[in-house]
Amino acid sequence: MRDEKRANGPQGFIGFAVSARMNPVLREEIECIPAEKWQPYGEDSGAVKERAPVEYYPEETAANRYREPLRSIAIRIRKRQQELFADGSGVKHFAVPTNLWDWKEKRLLEWHREKAGTIETVHDVLKNELAGGVLPCGRYGANAAWFRLAVITYNVLTAMKRLVLPADLQTARPKRLRFLIFQQPGKLIHHARKTVWRLARTWNRFWNWKQAMEVLVLPAPV
């Protein structure tokens, strides 16, 4: 991917971030990072996550030796209450090499975690929130169609979140979207050859819809 003149692929720059395989030299460099360089990355009830730039430039292959070096970001995860991980260690270290030098560290790590590494979350949404785990019958073809509809729904919701909804809904799951957008109380009224949807709330409560409709290109009325 670092070769912008790749023979069997698109030409030009391709930005990437990958998980590095931990080795003794990389681990030593991470452990030597000064305490003041570690910045908060995220935390939960059981662990604290921190990130920091790491000066790690491994020996390059002949093809990449004269290219711009990769930037590496270290991740440190520490258990609260001085607890140990399952393998007996008190701290876990990871590293993410990337060729995106102008991105902020936190945004880069968030973008890196959005890839297929979160497939467990996708499976959870498909099975438990989009009915992909409850097949309708014993026929293989019908079950396959059912699951495809669940996957299509997931993709449509993902596209909607990324293209038209506010940034704070980027990680919203279908259940939250139902309460905020889809299942809004209202009444359809037919009057003077028009169909009107009378909302049970004021229009100010529908700012998510308002912004989405401003972004979307709606078809011209026939």
Question: Going by C-beta distance under 8 Å and a sequence separation of 6 or more, which residues neighbour residue 135?
Answer: 143, 146, 147
pLDDT at site 203 = 60
Residue ranges of the chain whose pLDDT lies below 70 = 43-45, 66, 81-84, 86-88, 115-118, 200-213, 216-222
What is the pLDDT at residue 110? 85
How far apart (Å, rounded) are the C-alpha atoms in residues 81 and 48? Answer: 11
Beta strand segments in the chain, E: 39-43, 47-54, 71-79, 91-98, 186-191, 194-199
pLDDT computed for residue 220 by the predictor = 61
Q: What is the pLDDT of residue 61?
A: 74
pLDDT reported for residue 147: 92
pTM higher than the cut 0.75? no
pLDDT value of residue 168: 80
Domain map of the chain by residue range?
A: 24-114, 136-216
